[in-house]
Amino acid sequence: MQPRKNGLASGHLHFLLEDEPYRILGGSMHYFRVPVAYWRDRMRKMKACGINTLTTYVPWNLHEPRKGKFDFTKILDISEFLAVASEIGLWVIVRPGPYICSEWDLGGLPSWLLRDKNMKLRTTYKGFAEATEAYFDELIPKLAKYQYTRGGPIIAFQVENEYGSYAKDANYMEFIKNALVSRGIVELLVTSDNKDGLSYGSLEGVLATVNFQKIEPVLFSYLNALQGNKPVMVMEYWTGWFDYWGGDHHVLDADAMMSTISEVLNRGASINLYMFHGGTNFGFMSGALHFHEYQSDVTSYDYDAPLTESGDYTSKYFKIRELFGAYNGNPLPPVPELTLKTSYGTVQLKRCLPLWDVLHLVGQPFKSVEPVNMENLPVNGGNGQSYGYTLYETIIFGGGKFHTKGNVRDRAQVFVSSHPLGTVDYKNEELQIPEVPAYRKLSILVENCGRVNYGPMIDYQRKGIVGEVYLRDAPLRNFKIYSLEMNTTFIHSLNDVHWSELGEWKTGPVFYQGALHAGDSPMDTFIRMKGWKKGVVFINGYNLGRYWDIGPQDTLYLPGPWLWPGVNEITILEEYEAGQTVYTLDTPIFGKTQYVD
């Protein structure tokens, strides 16, 4: 890469790049939500739409899943992602966090931080600051060499993310800024906040940008008053919205979207479309909101964006292309062909396996007098459990009222002698256990449904059983605790045990397995769990994400590059009651829609 002299500058009413006026026509796409095989395809579609700048977050919890153990391979190879962007001809704005929000578990922060009972996230608290420094020691040098002035595509970096909405520590933003600069970051630095957070989230010497879906008349004048004659940039113009389980699929009217984008550009401002391509919250990585009530996000991050979850064009795409084309000096490249989608018909399931029969695969249970939350379990080399399920077992005598006192996070099935009694969660905190004059095993299977990614409740995101649970108002004691992360290694190990023929087990939690025949040239498809209740789908050991019959999402995206030619193994963990058939479709079903305003 050849070094350059003058990177993106914000000293005037307009951005300058190599001392020439430059308007950012940006779009967000997150490498960790898109299969590696499709990075180039999605970027080519961005370029053909008139996008000149790509923005991406960086998820700390994926890159450092265990303290001091880093991963920048495969879907996490951000160096390769930046190299592809450079090849396609896109400039890049990197938003490295450490907190990213993004409807991502704990806003991208690793759960092992929560092992410290005094942890203060997003502050200069010693434990958080030292962990951030160690992470940036690994991450920032990988990004620094792709800076514009070193010949790379990165023209700007964001300092943290929407801190004005949190603002717990007056020294924190300066700390993050210094953490970037001291590691060789020389490109333009920006902050990003919604209207209410602008005054608290801005920082001396750093350009403030704003996030919104609808322009308020005073918003731009307020931004100008805050920082004088600086370029105005909308870092996040929300092209749609995210979905949560039990709600509707959110959509934003395309004409309303275009009206706002046009107004932003007519005012001379730069803009970044969040999202341009949303992708997927594969695995257990979707986050949650908890204001008036806890709401966990769905697996899809389609976001009603201009490019769909699977990379297809929408009417929004072509409307934006027409508008952005007028702002490009040269004709836009032709629109790339779409990747093909197909239906493989139905997947016939062949066998089943109760969860109770595979507990030995996770090793000896941890024994504790009192319940221990997921993050503080002595697993994963002292890093605790991050995702999935945790099973708590104890012996009870008799029956009576079982009560969680709000200490089950986020949702649990309760069993006595493996017989299901019901479910407890934030709204339902008690169950009646039938009276039997005998000792019996009480099992509490707790699911982490997603840690909150935004708002004050982010400070209270330990999962599992986080305090006492009670029977007849007496706290239960003497637990055996199993860590059930449902990782790829565990899913593959299921093939080492004896399965039953389908039909012998009808109620969950039960694993089911079948074969998907993909032919010689696998293509994208969508898994539909019609008739099933709630659980997780794995393809060849890889976690596609959660399904739940309360909707809105009714299909799971299965990328063609993740399929093998010929036979592919589908494994399903159904928590309640299995359906008869698994379907594959060539189009997604996102459920009942609700327009956002």
Q: Domain extents for the chain?
A: 15-325, 346-353+488-595, 370-477
Integer Cα distance of 355 and 266 in angstroms: 59
Q: What is the model's pLDDT at position 219? A: 85
Q: Could you tell me whether strands 154-158 and 91-95 are parallel, antiparallel, or unpaired per DSSP bridges?
A: parallel
Query: At 422, which helix (H) or strand (E)?
Result: strand 419-424
What is the SS3 assignment for 50? coil
CATH number assigned to the domain covering 370-477: 2.60.120.260
Integer Cα distance of 428 and 411 in angstroms: 9
Report the candidate in 273, 276, 266 with the shortest Cα–Cα distance to residue 327.
266
Are 15-325 and 346-353+488-595 the same fold in CATH? Answer: no
Tell me the one-letter amino acid at 67: K
Residues 6+ apart with CB under 8 A from 151: 1, 2, 3, 4
Count of all residues that appear for the chain in the document: 597
The pLDDT averaged over each successive group of 10 residues in the chain (597 residues) is 86 91 98 98 98 98 98 98 98 98 98 98 98 98 98 98 96 98 98 92 95 88 89 97 98 98 96 98 98 97 98 98 94 96 95 96 97 98 98 98 98 97 98 97 98 96 98 98 98 96 81 96 97 97 98 98 97 95 97 91
Q: Where are the alpha helices (DSSP H) in 331-459?
A: none
Q: Are 254 and 319 in contact (CB under 8 A)?
A: yes
Fold classification of 346-353+488-595 (topology level): Jelly Rolls (2.60.120)
Q: Are 339 and 455 in contact (CB under 8 A)?
A: no
Could you say which of 3.40.190.10, 1.20.272.10, 3.20.20.80, 3.40.30.10 is the CATH number of the domain covering 15-325? 3.20.20.80
Q: DSSP string of 72-126? A: -SGGG-HHHHHHHHHHHT-EEEEE--S---TTBGGGG--GGGGGSTT--TTS--H
Q: What is the model's pLDDT at position 564? A: 97
3-state helix, strand, coil in the chain (%, to 5): 25, 30, 45
What is the SS3 assignment for 451? coil
For residue 428, give both structure tokens: 């339902």
Residues 6+ apart with CB under 8 A from 577: 506, 507, 508, 532, 533
For residue 218, give both structure tokens: 């005073």
For residue 591, give both structure tokens: 């459920």
Q: Which residues are catalytic?
A: 162, 236
Q: Are 282 and 544 in contact (CB under 8 A)?
A: yes
Q: What is the model's pLDDT at position 597? A: 77
Model pTM above 0.85 = yes
